Amino acid sequence: MPQSFALQTRSNARYTNNQLHKMMTKRLLTFAGVALFAAAPLQAQHVHKPGKPVHAHETTDKAPAQRSCGTMEHLNMLLANDPALASRMQQIEQNTQDFIQNQYDPNQRVVYTIPVVFHVVYQNATENISNAALNAQLQVLNDDFRKLNADASNVPTVWQNIAADCEINFCLATLDPQGNATTGITRTSTNVSSFNTNDNVKFTASGGQNAWPAGSYLNIWVCDLGQSLLGYAQFPGGPANTDGVVLNYRYTGTTATGAQAPFDKGRTATHEVGHYLNLFHIWGDDGGSCSGSDQVTDTPNQGDATGGCFNPGTVLTDNCATSSPGYMWQNYMDYTDDACMYMFTNGQKARVQACMSGPRASLQNSLACGSSQTFANDAGMLSVVSPNGAICSTSFQPVVTLKNFGTATLTLVTIQYRVDNAPFTNFSWTGSLASGAQTNVTLPTVTTTSGTHTFTTATTSPNNNTDGNASNDQTSSTFTVQGPGQNLPYTQGFEATTFPPAGHSVINPDAATTWVRSTAASKTGVASMFIDNNNYAGTGELDQFVLPAVNLSSVSNPVLTFQVAYQLYTDPASNPNYSDTLRLQISTDCGATWTTIYNKFGTALTTATPTFSTVPFVPTANQWRLETVALVPYASAQNAQFRFININDYENNLYIDDINITNTTGISSADLGGMFTLFPNPTSGLVTLNISLPQQKRLQVTITNSLGQVVEQMEQGVTYGGQYQFDLSTQAEGMYFVQIRAGEAVSTQRLIITH
């Protein structure tokens, strides 16, 4: 593997205490507007020689300078994937306000207990944190939500009368979803070096661990989230199979169990579980305008997040809280260090209680912290195999996993199923399923409509008897039916000022630097898409630009083209060397799997001469290259999705313009020059030729010297091209010519050999 690519999984650098842009709206009637907001960047701090800080492999494993919560970014992703989520959350907010105003009695003690399962997903022993750390974390949750934390005494006098016991207990699950005894901790070894807010950690198929039923458990995943991201949570109303909290292993537990300062007192979990129970950031995520709200009346208006730590009694003011007592930096829903957050308020308690009476009410009936009991006849639904996530057809055959939890062999059971709130349909299953065994059952075809739906399935009457344990009978999944994509041609030149353009999305896992629109350079028009790798220290981060789905079958010979401009910062001849990477992927199964169809880094990606410069790269008109990617292998796909991925290595700026997906009828000589790259150039002898044709053609490569003598020649049958290497080290120094012939099209490029 080339050095430049191998180094792209290094950990992130530190981040500064710069303000966070905000993404949530303020008053409840405008809540649906959250879908309009985009994730906001943290600004990276650089400390090294002028013009460029160190690469991440030269830094130490330090905690970020300020708390970073990815909950709002995660919400932004869910909203982009599920347009109905905003209205569901708006309804939950309306119900929350109604409950507080009309039903909530602050003098009536209602203590709820939430069963917790910790899913530890680890790549090495350090990430596989101990049971002691998880038990310590659970104790912190209990102390903080019951106001039993020792540092509650630090709450200022002015707020002591509103500091709240939220009356929430947490227990480690003793029964798994099948009713078997459990420690409440799962451990999953993974080959994924780092996760982010895209929820991959929540699925076994993507290197994580599937959630236990969200109606009965608070799922808490513990994994490597990189250096800068402490954790994130899912608000009520989102998909059941991703519901819960994700914590960075570095900041889980306490100082005594190895958590890293200054986030070493377990308060990351307290903050994220607050989101899970429908609490917002205390400053209202409004960008410092003072117009926002956390929907709580007894927290002072606050302009922005607070970082760092302060002596108890310190009064902090800002443009929203201009006089004493200032704003409530002590609150768990701010961004202060663990040692400086130690209170919820009565208003926040009211929201938590409303949540437990509303969208989290099923947790009240969970038996997950009870004792195990066996029954002769006990059938249950283990999971929904499909539909799950995104599917591409309105008609599908559900597949569910049936398990025999009873002691008697299961020979007959009725399986019920439905989409949304339709009446249940009954399916009679017969067979022979031993005690403890499970099997996948394919149900009759179901037809629904495009959009987001809930599929629910349940068992009843095992062996024509009453089910001994109804708690494991039912399960559900959330899925989205995506219809055919837009017909071709597709074109995007980033000329409109709105970014990302309508129907597109940007996925920014670390909430730092990502794809933006730039008017500094363009191939055509006035703008392009740009990512500032020159000032982006988060090496190994994958920032995605996702195109809307397209119908490739609407043309006979689809091809994707785009203009790219890039220059390295580090000399590619140095050791070690570095490079950012540009990757293009396609999915034809609604995002379930992705295939890489373009991947370049190093000198293969560069479009400028010289190939590197310590000056931030801004391309001129002749420093762009047309890239052509054949799509014929996917021509039958009616719902094809594409995503451009920048893999950061802290090198230099990358630009993309003029993305087109069209039909092509042939290859002209004028176009052929943009379909191949030759690197390195100049070369000492070893040279690599990358060819990507939009349609299969007979291929011939001829290399001649300045006298016209052929020194190398290669012929291929009908092909889309590929990567070809030539060894010219025995040739004399000088100028050579590389001629590419694809069918009738011919293009020639100069090659310089130096020894």
Q: In this predicted structure, what is the pLDDT of residue 15? A: 27
Domains 63-365 and 666-755 share a fold: no
pLDDT recorded at residue 659: 96
Quick one: pLDDT at residue 62?
62
Distances (CA, A) of 711 to 35, 682, 739: 60, 17, 12
Contact 584, 598 (CB under 8 A): yes
**What's the pLDDT at 144?**
97
pTM of the model: 0.54
pLDDT in tens, 410-462: 999 999 999 998 999 999 999 999 998 999 999 999 999 988 888 999 999 99
| 469 vs 311, more confident | 311
pLDDT of 619 over the 60 cut:
yes
* pLDDT at position 472: 84
3-state secondary structure of 325: coil
The per-residue pLDDT for 32 is 31
Per-residue pLDDT at 79 exceeds 60: yes
Q: What are phi and psi of 101, to 5 degrees?
A: -80, -35
Domain 379-468 CATH assignment equals 2.60.40.10: yes
Catalytic residue among 272, 541, 627, 651: 272
Under DSSP, the state recorded for 555 is S
Beta bridge partners of 187: 120
- In contact, 393 and 438? CB cutoff 8 Å: no
What does 260-282 look like in DSSP terms, one character per residue?
PTTS-SSHHHHHHHHHHTTPPPT
Q: For residue 739, what are its two tokens?
A: 């001629």
For domain 63-365, give the CATH number. 3.40.390.10
166: nearest Cα among 104, 216, 92 = 104
Omega before 462 cis (within 30°)?
Answer: no
Between 366 and 417, the more confident residue is 417
Q: What type of residue sits at position 522?
A: S
- For residue 578, give both structure tokens: 């570095």
pLDDT at residue 45 in the model: 28
Question: Could you report the per-residue pLDDT of 553-600, keeping only the tens digit for each?
Answer: 988 889 999 999 999 999 999 988 899 999 999 999 888 789 999 999
pLDDT confidence tier of residue 508, bands split at 50, 70 and 90: confident
Q: Average the pLDDT over 288-304 and give the result.
A: 90
Contact predicate 672/740, CB 8 Å: yes
User: What are the sequence ranges of the domains in the chain?
Assistant: 1-10+482-663, 63-365, 379-468, 666-755
Q: Is 354 helix (H, G, I), strand (E, B) or coil?
A: helix
Least confident interval from 154-158, 452-456, 519-523: 452-456
Looking at domain 1-10+482-663, which of 2.60.120.200, 3.30.413.10, 3.40.630.150, 3.40.50.150 is its CATH number? 2.60.120.200
347-362 burial, b at 16+ Cβ within 10 Å, e below that, comes to bbbbbbbbbbbbbbee
Residue 61: the pLDDT is 55
Contacts for 413 with CB less than 8 Å, ≥ 6 apart: 379, 402, 428, 429, 459, 460, 461, 462, 463
Q: Is 312 helix (H, G, I), strand (E, B) or coil?
A: coil
Which residues lie across from 705 on neighbouring strands? 736
**CATH number of this structure's domain 666-755, picked from the four choices 2.60.40.1930, 3.40.190.10, 3.40.630.30, 2.30.30.90:** 2.60.40.1930
Residue 7: CB atoms within 10 Å = 20
Q: Could you read off the pLDDT of 26-45 as tens digits, one per residue?
A: 223 333 333 223 222 222 22
Written as one string, the DSSP assignment of 146-178 is TT--GGGGGS-GGGTTTB----EEEEE-SB-TT
Question: Could you report the per-residue pLDDT of 678-721, keeping only the tens digit for each?
Answer: 888 889 999 988 888 877 888 999 999 888 889 999 988 888 88
State the pLDDT at residue 37.
Answer: 30
Instruction: Kindly calculate the radius of gyration of the chain based on its CA atoms and give it in whole angstroms.
Output: 29
| Closest to 91 (Cα-Cα) out of 291, 287, 278 | 278
Q: Which of 740, 593, 731 is nearest to 674 (CA)?
A: 740
Average confidence score pLDDT of the chain: 87
Q: Indicate if 127 belongs to the active site.
A: no
The alpha-helical segments, DSSP class H, found in 317-453 are 346-357
Q: Tell me the pLDDT tens digit for each residue of 180-200.
A: 889 999 999 999 999 999 999
Quote the tokens at residue 46.
């650089």
